Amino acid sequence: MVNVVRVFIKNWTHQRFDGRAAPKRGWGLGLLLCLILPFGDAFAVNIEVSLDRNPVPINESFTLTFAADEAPDDDPDLSPLRDNFEILNQSQSNQFSMVNGKTTRQVSFQIQLIAKTPGTLEIPAIAFGKDKSRPFMVSVTQGAVSNRQGADANLFLEMEAEPKNPYVQAQVILTVRVLSRVAFSGDLAQPEVQGVTIDKLDDDRQYMALRDGIQFRVDERRYTLYPEKSGRLSIPSVNMTAELGGQGLGPFSRAKGRPQRFHSDPVVLDVRPIPSSFKGSSWLPAARLELLEQWSPKDLKVLAGEPLTRTLTLTAEGASVGLLPELMGPDIPGGEVKQYPDQPVTKEEKGRTGLISLRQQKTALLAVRPGTYKVPAVEIPWWNTVKDQMEVVKVPAHEVTVLPAADGGGGKTAAPPLAEIPEAPAPKEPLVPVPLDPQKTDQTPGFWPWVSLSLGLGWVATLMLWWWRSRNQKVIEPLRQEPAHAPKAGSQLKRLEAACLQGDPLAARQALEAWAQENWPKLSSAERLQALESDLGETWQDLNRHLYGHGGKGWDGQALLRKAQSIVATMASAAGVKGSSKDVLESLHRL
């Protein structure tokens, strides 16, 4: 009826009429609206509510039907049902019939529900747009226990956890089994535990098993969980809604019938705290732990200025990767060897025994001075959950050898200022006295030979003193000391500029080393590296971190370029070369 009125009003308002008829028809339309509006509810679609059965057992589904003689204003809003019921399925149907020339239509909405709790429950009024159904009551009985075992059980659920008294943050394997003697189809809900993350471990398994002498097919699903705090941990029942078929488990057996809900028994865990006997700084419970190391090169020998790479790999069985500690070794005594760690590699794999986690750390060790250095051992305390005791995995300490650089330099002598080193003056030839009598060549030497000998010894002592002082002289900011000449620019500064602009740390380091060798060829490579490190400071460290340690994001060479500009300008100014300093810095000052 309401739709008839709506169509009538629509057609009325769209009619074309002349000026004389307009007032009359306008008054007629207004009068019609005044008569209809007060009785608007009387024209709402009447929606009937019915159940296929009442009462119903709590573990069995039932069908709720909404029926109307014409289409309601909109689709139903079923959200109010979710408080007390689970919605399993929903469908809509339309039926038309003609009797004695009169056509009738019926619109139906079928909702399949299962109650969450027993008792007398209300099916609330459901809105269909502007139309609405009336409330309805349903009686839900306790029904039979669905997870029972015995000869009359065609399907039931089991749930168990191992171990039942785990340590905090230790792995727990939760197993859910569906045991059946008939064909069925259904969805198994995932366990839910407040405040604990549960992850499916591996693929489902199917096998046969006996319960009370009766053979059942078993569908097994396993999960991992890690308790975050000690104390009592309750794992609620797991539910499954399924339709059971006839007897038999063959592939051609088909499930049919009314959906039913099955549930397992709950499980309670007693979670233990960290034991007082554990002395490590980082709590790590696992079933097995292994620490391995690799060196490159394997003989632990490198040239000064070249990196030595150490790779540590930690593998844990029964522990999540988030519990594995960092593998950065302790500092190397003396401060002569610096460590540049790479980004760690982490991985998790799922196996029959649980999670297998891996953490791998590569670290570049770099020393600029030759010598023998001791790399300390790495020890990781952990708790063996199988033996229930603390253990330690470790790799031993090592001695690494840093050899002089390939150019023959790299001794432990400190580098003098990076400037032209003048040649040491050659000792003058001592004067030889002329014999008084040239005819007597066998005359015994007099005073002058002793003078010559003393002068020669003095020159030898002077040379030894100069060598000893230069050997023990300490380098203090060598690049900033006054050079003997203006720095050479050449192609190396252009290479440095291009590398910094392109963000290429390897090319930048190579350009710096070549530039230093070009300006100070008489120094060893190790001394030149020490000089670069001393004057470039943090920009040099940042360059090495990105080169040997992959220091995160892409390398920005702007800071290094500005530092190099400052050093070259200082050297050019100190050399007193006014005209050439601009030429030296021409390529670097283009930024």
- The verdict on residue 546 lying in a domain is yes
Report the pLDDT value the prediction gives residue 154, as an integer from 0 to 100.
86
Dihedral, CA atoms, 529, 535, 536, 538, nearest 10 degrees?
A: 110
- The verdict on residue 441 lying in a domain is no
Structural domain boundaries, residue 535: 413-433+448-591
Report the pLDDT value the prediction gives residue 459, as an integer from 0 to 100.
60
Peptide bond into 55 cis (omega under 30): yes
Report the pLDDT value the prediction gives residue 98, as an integer from 0 to 100.
67
- State whether 87 and 180 are in the same domain: no
Domain limit, last residue, from 271, 301, 329: 271
- State whether 398 and 489 are in the same domain: no
Q: Which residue positions in the chain have pLDDT lower than 70?
A: 1-43, 98-101, 143-152, 246-257, 406-490, 526, 549-553, 573-591
- State whether 399 and 462 are in the same domain: no
Dihedral, CA atoms, 123, 128, 129, 133, nearest 10 degrees?
A: -60
Rounded distance, CA 261 to CA 86, Å?
11
- What backbone phi and psi angles, to 5 degrees, belong to 538? -65, -30
Q: How many CB atoms lie within 10 A of CB 258?
A: 15
- State whether 466 and 589 are in the same domain: yes
Report the pLDDT value the prediction gives residue 463, as an integer from 0 to 100.
62
Specify whether the CB–CB gap between 139 and 55 falls below 8 A: yes
Nearest to 416 by CA among 475, 363, 463, 343: 475
Burial string for 79-108 (b: 16+ CB within 10 Å, else e) reads eebeebbbebeeeeeeeeeeeeeeeeeebe
Q: Count each helix (H run) and each strand (E run) in the chain, helices first.
A: 9, 30
Rounded distance, CA 331 to CA 302, Å?
19
Rounded distance, CA 352 to CA 430, Å?
91
Could you tell me how far CA 53 lies from the centroid of its own chain?
Answer: 53
Q: How many CB atoms lie within 10 A of CB 152?
A: 7
User: Burial, 277: exposed, middle or buried (Cβ in 10 Å; 0-12, 13-18, 19+)?
Assistant: exposed
- State whether 37 and 54 are in the same domain: no
- Cβ contacts of 28 within 8 Å, gap of 6 or more: none
Helix axes 538-548, 525-536, angle to 10 degrees: 120
514-518: long-range contacts, CB 8 A cutoff, minimum separation 24: 515/488, 515/490, 516/418, 518/488, 518/490, 518/492
- State whether 234 and 347 are in the same domain: no
- State whether 239 and 299 are in the same domain: no
- State whether 297 and 256 are in the same domain: no
- State whether 103 and 177 are in the same domain: no
- State whether 52 and 35 are in the same domain: no
Q: What is the CATH number of the domain that holds 85?
A: 2.60.40
Rounded distance, CA 191 to CA 197, Å?
10
SS (H, E, C) 122-140: EECCCEECCEECCCEEEEE
Rounded distance, CA 344 to CA 549, Å?
10
Dihedral, CA atoms, 532, 536, 537, 542, nearest 10 degrees?
A: -100
- The verdict on residue 566 lying in a domain is yes
Nearest to 220 by CA among 267, 174, 170, 154: 174
- Cβ contacts of 141 within 8 Å, gap of 6 or more: 55, 56, 57, 58, 118
Rounded distance, CA 185 to CA 259, Å?
9
Rounded distance, CA 501 to CA 496, Å?
9
- The verdict on residue 392 lying in a domain is yes
- What backbone phi and psi angles, to 5 degrees, belong to 13? -70, -20
- The verdict on residue 393 lying in a domain is yes
- The verdict on residue 454 lying in a domain is yes
CA atoms within 13 A of residue 518's CA, in its CB half-sphere: 14
- The verdict on residue 443 lying in a domain is no
- State whether 331 and 249 are in the same domain: no
Burial string for 309-344 (b: 16+ CB within 10 Å, else e) reads bbbbbbbbbbbbbebbeebebeebeeeebbbbbbee
Give the pairing type, strands 56-57 and 136-141. Answer: parallel
Nearest to 53 by CA among 109, 135, 114, 95: 114
Our count of domains for the chain comes to 5
Report the pLDDT value the prediction gives residue 14, as an integer from 0 to 100.
46
Report the pLDDT value the prediction gives residue 190, as an integer from 0 to 100.
87
- The verdict on residue 53 lying in a domain is yes
Specify whether the CB–CB gap between 175 and 160 falls below 8 A: yes
CA atoms within 13 A of residue 476's CA, in its CB half-sphere: 3
Nearest to 260 by CA among 276, 274, 240, 246: 240
Give strand ranges (E) for 319-451: 337-341, 345-351, 354-367, 371-375, 378-384, 389-395, 398-403
- State whether 482 and 497 are in the same domain: yes
The two three-digit tokens of residue 9, written as one number = 């009003």
- Residue 34 carries which DSSP code? H
User: Which run of H or E residues covers position 7?
Assistant: helix 2-13
